[in-house]
């Protein structure tokens, strides 16, 4: 596939270059370039930050078209990373070994996602795509960036994949990067979504990276008590505040379960229609995935947005609309609402059909989650100065003065 060269401005060229791998639609890339933005509700025009994504690569050309549309200063290279030499990435980004400030990226999570555990090769960690982790390490080893940020699904840390995970950390340690890892809940960083992702961060100088302190708190699947001194997780209703949307083709949930979906209250799922709840007794208890007929609760964050949901997989909006026959039907989330749940700017544009858009956004890193990690790293590397008390404590913790839990 041909390279799509960027057309950076003089001011952009002066910024520190970043290599993006497995870039997708550019969630982490957006965080790189917006690391100087304030928290929440991304502005239409980003603040002037220290980095530019010099080159981005992914196997999906359509996703890179989306990235290029929103980050026109980035050169994109579609293709299989296993067939892409590091030297080519450096050449396209006008870099030499050691020039890159960062390497960022999230190798495809399919081998480690719980949704794939029904396949024996995934349960046993034999999926050949796991080698993509090795390709990420290969680029870090050959490009020698000042630091790297690797993102993946939480399942990468499970015992099932213990061998892969230990090998990954061991190899990065041998390269001198002293990798630190932590599973983060997106809602704890202002994202109105209960999405968990593991981040691995390392520095070329071997100093240990300190993860950012959570900015929000609240209940989740595994959290029943939380820090009451922090603002509550951002709810879906708060995320949609002030947003004007228009109906989209195919947004109503019709077909076999259309009527049942419309009867499910906000915050509930198919379990509403079991003998234990107030709906119809249509399903056996815990016989379906949690997301089946799932409706958003307006007063809580969304569940994880699915990249490839089936026709009855939510979360759907809590409101019902009337179809052409006058019957109430649940509706799917509209694209502007998906962007809000990902904390992407309202003017972010996505290439493709509605299914393409869902896939690209569902696979992306929520902007505020990526930005929290990258801002902490940027502060600790000294590229920006602390602007808040939390920032200042984080910088001091990295130097050993204090420790943030």
Q: pLDDT tens across 347-387, in order?
A: 999 999 999 999 999 999 999 999 999 999 999 999 988 77
- pLDDT for 144 equals 98
Residue ranges covered by each domain of the chain: 10-226+368-398
Reported as a pLDDT band with limits 50, 70 and 90, residue 396 is low
- pLDDT for 114 equals 45
Is a pLDDT exceeding 80 seen at residue 8? Answer: no
Lowest mean pLDDT among 38-47, 71-80, 175-184, 395-404: 395-404
- pLDDT for 37 equals 87
Is a pLDDT exceeding 90 seen at residue 335? Answer: yes
Is a pLDDT exceeding 90 seen at residue 312? Answer: yes
Q: Show the tokens assigned to 105.
A: 């990226």
128 or 229: whose pLDDT is higher? Answer: 229
What CA–CA distance (Å, rounded) separates 365 from 362? 8
- pLDDT for 404 equals 34
Catalytically annotated residues: 109
What value does the mean pLDDT take over residues 165-179? 95
What CA–CA distance (Å, rounded) separates 212 from 232? 17
Full-model pTM: 0.90
- pLDDT for 402 equals 35
Contacts of 363 (CB under 8 A, 6+ apart): 24, 25, 63, 307
What value does the mean pLDDT take over residues 171-193? 97
Could you give the C-alpha distances from 114 to 38, 139, 288, 289, in angstroms and in order? Answer: 34, 27, 14, 11
Reported as a pLDDT band with limits 50, 70 and 90, residue 128 is low
Is a pLDDT exceeding 60 seen at residue 72? Answer: yes
Average pLDDT, rounded, for the chain? 90
- pLDDT for 118 equals 36
Is a pLDDT exceeding 90 seen at residue 65? Answer: yes
Return the number of other C-beta atoms located less than 10 Å from residue 59's C-beta. 19
pLDDT in tens, 192-234: 999 999 999 999 999 999 999 999 999 988 888 999 999 999 9
Is a pLDDT exceeding 70 seen at residue 109? Answer: no
- pLDDT for 399 equals 56
Reported as a pLDDT band with limits 50, 70 and 90, residue 20 is very high
- pLDDT for 315 equals 97
- pLDDT for 390 equals 67
22 and 66 in contact (C-beta within 8 Å)? no
CATH hierarchy code of domain 10-226+368-398? 3.40.50.150
């Amino acid at each position: 596939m041909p390279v799509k060269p960027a057309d950076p401005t003089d001011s952009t060229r002066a910024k520190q270059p970043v290599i993006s791998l497995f870039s997708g639609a550019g969630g982490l890339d957006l965080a790189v370039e917006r690391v100087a933005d304030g928290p929440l509700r991304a502005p239409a025009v980003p603040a002037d930050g220290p980095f530019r994504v010099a080159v981005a690569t992914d196997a999906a050309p359509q996703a890179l078209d989306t990235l290029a549309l929103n980050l026109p200063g980035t050169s994109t290279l579609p293709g299989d990373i296993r067939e892409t030499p590091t030297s080519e990435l450096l050449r396209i980004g006008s870099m030499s070994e050691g020039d890159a400030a960062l390497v960022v990226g999230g190798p495809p999570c399919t081998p480690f996602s719980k949704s794939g555990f029904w396949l024996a090769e995934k349960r046993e960690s034999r999926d050949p795509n796991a080698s993509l982790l090795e390709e990420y390490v290969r680029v870090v080893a050959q490009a020698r960036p000042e630091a790297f940020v690797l993102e993946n699904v939480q399942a990468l840390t499970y015992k099932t994949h213990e061998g892969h995970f230990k090998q990954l950390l061991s190899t990065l340690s041998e390269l001198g990067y002293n990798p630190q890892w932590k599973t983060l809940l997106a809602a704890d960083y202002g994202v109105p979504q209960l999405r968990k992702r593991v981040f691995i961060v390392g520095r070329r100088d071997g100093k240990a990276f300190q993860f950012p302190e959570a900015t929000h708190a609240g209940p989740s699947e595994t959290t029943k008590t939380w820090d009451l001194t922090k603002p509550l997780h951002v709810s879906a209703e708060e995320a949609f505040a002030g947003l004007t949307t228009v109906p989209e083709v195919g947004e109503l949930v019709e077909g076999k379960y259309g009527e049942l979906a419309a009867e499910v209250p906000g915050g509930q799922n198919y379990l509403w229609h079991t003998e234990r709840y107030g709906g119809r007794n249509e399903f056996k208890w815990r016989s379906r995935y949690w997301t089946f007929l799932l409706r958003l609760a307006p007063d809580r964050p969304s569940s994880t947005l699915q990249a490839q949901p089936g026709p009855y997989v939510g979360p759907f909006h809590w409101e019902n609309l009337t179809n052409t026959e006058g019957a109430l039907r649940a509706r799917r989330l509209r694209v502007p609402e998906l962007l809000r749940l990902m904390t992407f700017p309202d003017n972010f544009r996505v290439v493709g059909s509605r299914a393409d858009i869902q896939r690209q956004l569902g696979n992306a890193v929520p902007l505020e989650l990526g930005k929290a990690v990258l801002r902490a790293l940027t502060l600790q590397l000294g590229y920006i100065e602390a602007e808040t008390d939390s920032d200042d404590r984080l910088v001091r913790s990295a130097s050993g003065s204090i420790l943030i839990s």
